Structure 1
């Protein structure tokens, strides 16, 4: 195992640490057991190290871990052995080592190995699956969802092969089938399935299955070939929302409202419709044939836009009854689809693909609507680089079950950018740091993950270069740990912008949140106050507490801390047991959509 000196150096340099977890270690509590579970389950991580006796200084503005030490090593080791042997569905045996420092302080280091595929997932016996299992996402332990179980159980049927009740062959669109045949013939005019009749074709593609004596549509059949009436009736929220936002920031200004185009229909038709709607709106012209999805352009490459859309269609989760949102800002396009990435962010663009919807993906591949073998993201990056545009950036949010693709629309490090960067020549910036500053100017903020994607570097290099920009006063650090991100500083904002666009920083003076329990309660309507009083301190019915939280956030947006104060409960307990489940159920949503980990994040009822 690494020495405690190397571990501390790693923790203090990086803004997030996937393979190391530092704990105070006064006792073996639930959070330590959840981390053991997450390290055991996370695919491809190889396990992780838990260090007890190391504490994070929460009062420090910057990342600062120090050694406090442990006083009861024998009891801690006994508790670890006991709990890892009894709490889970199978026993776990971590490697434990006690390190004694020169000053006499003791540190407990525990390495947890990743379990073999056949033994996953590890989960708490009392909670069962999926909520009793955890994964290691970034530097946090995340409760598993049904989509996570699909990763562990590769032989399990996927959702897109499942029968949809209340459907029959009449719900199939003949126009969609004709379009499929047309696209398939262009790829291979001798394809065997082109000789099938419509019924046999649908069977071969996994679009229909027999249920007792009736033929019914699967999710693949309904989504790819279903009539609009059937889609509206059975999946009312599975649609595309194309949103045009004035300026470069998401605002909910009633005087300057965004415009929205809602699109619904079979996926094989929806690709072209969505592509055309966005392409027509871009500042650079496209030459698009009637039967083509690719076009010549001097702006955003059409293949990049198409690939980003197709990725959203075939990789989103259809377990969530939510639309795909495509937000067109003045300087970028953001595509938000339900469903975190099944591949870790650092592996995006590498060969190989993990498909959440294998039958839908197969249809898109056979018609040449999608790249094969997981090469789509790599292709997007190469094309953006050839066009002198910023590489696409991706954000996978496991907690919100959301995947975001961002495409900047202006040429990167062009003459105007270089002219703007000349004002900072005295800071001796490298090319990667210049790219980071341009991205902050355009998108408003940057984090370690985005910096890595922009510059194809590792966590350590990204952390060092972002800290260097911060120490030079060019950017400001917000949040801590995994929630760390950076915004433009006063220096960056006061320099002239040759593009004549307004700088887009997030508010550096966050609103002062009301955190006085008495005043928070007094501002509530009498009906809600009565509901809270009826709960009492020992209320055990989670649905009653969820209903109160829903009514609270319907009345006004509140942070987790405020909700916990109003309910007189522990903040972490409220977040883990109520806020996260209510977000997953679609009952709550963030008020700051573009930055889920924003320190001023609050929640409102859906």
Structure 2
């Protein structure tokens, strides 16, 4: 939905009747002729007091990807990431094709693999130990029901998710389906103290990576009656949920590993692939979730790694608030998602404006002056003046000049 007639500050300024009339006469036809497959928008007005807004609405279509005819499929397909509109990569275009046919990469057959490449004993252990489910036999019908095998031309092939979850050698078929964990000295990625490659099936990768992270963090002890309690410097549940989120929601079609970097002041978990749905902080806090790999999620839930879908990020946020640590951040970039778990206490006396800016940076690695205008409700000149103060304080850094100026928060300058 696009609403025309609202200033960057949020003020309703309205649209003249002349512009509205021209839009009704030509806009629908222009969109129809410029797009492929064709898009038929809904264009209407809405009165707010004495002012009129022009609203352009397009429903989510079933024949994705949609692209600009003048640029063609490969260069004319665009996606919305955070607050930016970016040209879709070839991986994104393929995923849109699969979505339009009701397919997910996880359930596609791997034609280089055979049924003998699956560890059927591990599958049977899973079937015997599912939570709140009766036991099942590891036979053809069960494997098909869980989308672990696909039959084509009277031959059975393991699916991508079958190899990831129960394959004997997953990296032989999906070489980058792994996690690289590194512990760095200081706050940049220059000097590595220790590192480990976590391979094998996804459950083993999770266990290896989780153990590595916990082993590199500081611990404190509390004596309660005769028992000594150990506590990590950051909530263990935040590590667990952030890592699980990266594993079950990543895009396995992208040939890149998950990366975990431990710095003196934070942990960063970098996951290939953008969010499968729109990123909105309110949606995340409300537990609204979009699944890229629904069957992988189902198996993780039935085996007990995940309790309820949509609660992981809520648990991270709440655990940090309870411990008084700096807010965790979730950043969506161009074909990646990064979760930042700070290792420092929350700064006191942060003013309202800086708090709002931090909420913006929690959703995007960089922001524009228009974003600042909108979130603070001020003019462009005032927004620029306020950002200059934050630059002087060392909170943010300016990139570019004039109208292409962008701002990044200093701790986001180094990526994994």
Instruction: Give the TM-score band, short-chain normalised.
Output: 0.7 to 0.9
Alpha-carbon offset, residue 485 of structure 1: 2.3
Partner residue in 1 for 2:33: 86
Partner residue in 2 for 1:166: 112
Relative to structure 1, is the Cα distance of residues 77 and 434 closer, same or farther in structure 2, using a 3 angstrom cutoff?
Answer: closer
TM-score, length basis structure 1: 0.53
Q: Distance in 2 between matches of 1:258 and 1:373?
A: 35
Partner residue in 1 for 2:160: 219
Query: Which residue among 259, 268, 284 is the counterpart of 1:334?
Result: 268
Q: Distance in 2 between matches of 1:466 and 1:370?
A: 44
Q: Distance in 1 between matches of 2:315 and 2:384?
A: 27
Alpha-carbon offset, residue 111 of structure 1: 4.3
1:180 aligns with 2:126: yes
Alpha-carbon offset, residue 123 of structure 1: 2.7
Q: Distance in 2 between matches of 1:368 and 1:305?
A: 16
Partner residue in 1 for 2:415: 593
Alpha-carbon offset, residue 196 of structure 1: 1.4
TM-score, length basis structure 2: 0.75
Alpha-carbon offset, residue 77 of structure 1: 9.2
Query: Which residue among 263, 278, 286 is the counterpart of 2:198?
Result: 263
- Paired residues of 2:32 and 2:38 also in contact (CA < 8 A): yes
Relative to structure 1, is the Cα distance of residues 207 and 467 closer, same or farther in structure 2, using a 3 angstrom cutoff?
Answer: farther
Q: Distance in 1 between matches of 2:356 and 2:230?
A: 26
Q: Distance in 2 between matches of 1:122 and 1:179?
A: 44
Relative to structure 1, is the Cα distance of residues 275 and 80 closer, same or farther in structure 2, using a 3 angstrom cutoff?
Answer: same
1:134 aligns with 2:78: yes
Alpha-carbon offset, residue 337 of structure 1: 0.8
Alpha-carbon offset, residue 204 of structure 1: 3.2
- Paired residues of 1:180 and 1:268 also in contact (CA < 8 A): no
Partner residue in 1 for 2:360: 448
Alpha-carbon offset, residue 303 of structure 1: 1.7
Partner residue in 2 for 1:310: 244
Unaligned runs of 5+ in 1: 12-48, 52-71, 98-108, 287-294, 422-428, 437-445, 489-503, 507-591, 595-606
- Between Structure 1 and Structure 2, the one with more strand by share is 2
- Paired residues of 2:165 and 2:201 also in contact (CA < 8 A): yes
Query: Which residue among 75, 82, 87 is the counterpart of 1:143?
Result: 87
Q: Distance in 1 between matches of 2:120 and 2:98?
A: 34
Partner residue in 2 for 1:533: none
Q: Distance in 1 between matches of 2:61 and 2:160?
A: 28
Count of matched residue positions in the alignment of Structure 1 and Structure 2: 379
Q: Distance in 1 between matches of 2:268 and 2:41?
A: 44
Secondary structure of 2:218's partner?
coil
1:242 aligns with 2:176: no
Alpha-carbon offset, residue 262 of structure 1: 0.9
Partner residue in 2 for 1:597: none
- Paired residues of 2:128 and 2:136 also in contact (CA < 8 A): no
Relative to structure 1, is the Cα distance of residues 463 and 306 closer, same or farther in structure 2, using a 3 angstrom cutoff?
Answer: farther
Partner residue in 2 for 1:479: 399
Q: Distance in 2 between matches of 1:387 and 1:163?
A: 45
1:388 aligns with 2:329: no
Partner residue in 1 for 2:225: none
Relative to structure 1, is the Cα distance of residues 316 and 462 closer, same or farther in structure 2, using a 3 angstrom cutoff?
Answer: farther
Q: Trace 1:346-357 onto structure 2 (pairs within 5 A).
A: 346=280, 347-357=283-293
- Aligned-residue RMSD, C-alpha: 4.2
